[in-house]
Amino acid sequence: MRLGRLMILACSLPLASSAAWAAPATTSGSVALALAGVVAPYSTLPAKEKKAVAAFFNGDSDVHVTGKITVTADKVVCRASNVDITSRSCALTSGSRTHTVRGRDANAIYATVALAGVPGDGAAGTIYEALSKLSCTFDPKGIKDKAGGGADCSFEPGN
């Protein structure tokens, strides 16, 4: 009888942890700025807002944008091979558009998604970092205040 209870508990743990990974997550401050900063170049933002996000990410808070900026992506899926160690890529999807990024830029996106707390996954020689429903909001005034605020993101880990 006791072995049966332990088996039920052991079998339910992976389900519980998978459900926790799929729960919506948030990040703010420097991690949110970094996450939006690596995704924004591939987003549907207008050019002026992309430049503003790039300036913030490069440490320039003297940006002439007054309204809030929102960086979104439907999905970000990054892969790195632990067999072919030269292989790394990310697919960033917004609506019907998908940008595929490789090499150094993919590595930056992969690492930033991991920094945001998204748990990795792997199978058959490939390590994955993925999130969906990304929405990052910048408040230029909050960033200019240099008090640690002004950038917030929400997303769902996994794809």
The residues spanned by each domain of the chain are 23-157
User: How high is the pLDDT of residue 22?
Assistant: 58
Residue 36 predicted with pLDDT over 90 = yes
* Average pLDDT, integer, range 98-102: 97
| d(C-alpha 19, C-alpha 34), whole Å | 26
What is the residue whose two structure tokens read 């997303």? 155
* Average pLDDT, integer, range 85-96: 95
User: Which of 9-13, 42-46, 89-93 bottoms out in mean pLDDT, i.e. has the lowest?
Assistant: 9-13
* Average pLDDT, integer, range 86-100: 96
Instruction: Give percent of the chain with pLDDT exceeding 70.
Output: 86
Cα atoms found within 13 Å of the Cα of residue 15, Cβ hemisphere only: 5
CB-based burial label for 22 (10 Å; 0-12, 13-18, 19+):
exposed
| d(C-alpha 5, C-alpha 8), whole Å | 5
- Mean pLDDT estimate for the chain: 86
